Amino acid sequence: MSDATPAHHRAIRSFVRREGRLTEAQRRALDELQARWGVPFSERTLAFAALFGREAPVVMEIGFGNGESLAEMAAADPERNYLGVEVHRPGVGRLLNLVEQQGLRNVRVICHDAVEVLRGQIPDASLAGVQLYFPDPWPKKRHHKRRIVQPAWVELVADKLKAGGELHMATDWESYAQHMLEVLEACPAFENTAGPGNYSPHRGRRPQTKFERRGLRKGHGVWDLIYRKRGDT
Ligand X SMILES: C[S@@+](CC[C@H](N)C(=O)[O-])C[C@H]1O[C@@H](n2cnc3c(N)ncnc32)[C@H](O)[C@@H]1O
Q: How far apart are CA 146 and CA 148, in angstroms?
A: 6
136 is catalytic: yes
* Nearest residue to 84 (alpha-carbon basis) of 60, 112, 68, 114: 60
Residue nearest to ligand X according to CB distances in the complex = 63
Indicate the helix (H) or strand (E) that contains 210.
helix 210-217
Measured from the CB atom, the residue of 20 and 53 that comes closer to ligand X is 20
Q: How far apart are CA 38 and CA 92, in angstroms?
A: 9
Please identify which residue in 48, 134, 153, 173 interacts with ligand X, judged by CB under 6 A: 134
Please identify which residue in 115, 149, 156, 177 interacts with ligand X, judged by CB under 6 A: 115
Phi and psi angles of residue 173, each rounded to the nearest 5 degrees, phi first = -115, 115
Please identify which residue in 159, 166, 212, 224 interacts with ligand X, judged by CB under 6 A: 212
Q: What DSSP string describes 40-69?
A: ---SSPP-HHHHHTS---EEEEE--TTSHH
Q: How far apart are CA 94 and CA 167, in angstroms?
A: 25
Q: How far apart are CA 168 and CA 62, in angstroms?
A: 11
Please identify which residue in 27, 210, 220, 230 interacts with ligand X, judged by CB under 6 A: 210
Catalytic position from the list 3, 31, 77, 136: 136
Please identify which residue in 39, 148, 149, 184 interacts with ligand X, judged by CB under 6 A: 148
Residue 84 touches ligand X, criterion: CB under 6 A? no
Q: Are 97 and 33 spatial neighbours (Cβ–Cβ below 8 Å)?
A: yes
**Footprint on residues 14-73 left by ligand X (CB under 6 A):** 14-15, 62-65
Q: How far apart are CA 107 and CA 8, in angstroms?
A: 28
> Minimum CB separation from ligand X for residue 233, in Å?
27
Measured from the CB atom, the residue of 15 and 51 that comes closer to ligand X is 15
Residue 100 touches ligand X, criterion: CB under 6 A? no
Residue 136 touches ligand X, criterion: CB under 6 A? yes
> Minimum CB separation from ligand X for residue 132, in Å?
8
Q: Are 58 and 49 spatial neighbours (Cβ–Cβ below 8 Å)?
A: no
Residue 166 touches ligand X, criterion: CB under 6 A? no
User: C-alpha distances in angstroms, 210 versus 19, 28, 62, 172, 213?
Assistant: 18, 23, 15, 12, 5
Stretch of 34-42, 50-58, 97-105, 204-212 lying at the interface with ligand X (CB under 6 A): 204-212
Stretch of 26-34, 80-88, 175-183, 219-227 lying at the interface with ligand X (CB under 6 A): 80-88
Residue 158 touches ligand X, criterion: CB under 6 A? no
| Enzyme catalytic residues | 136
Note the residues at the interface with ligand X (CB under 6 A). 14-15, 62-65, 85-88, 91, 113-115, 133-136, 148, 209-212
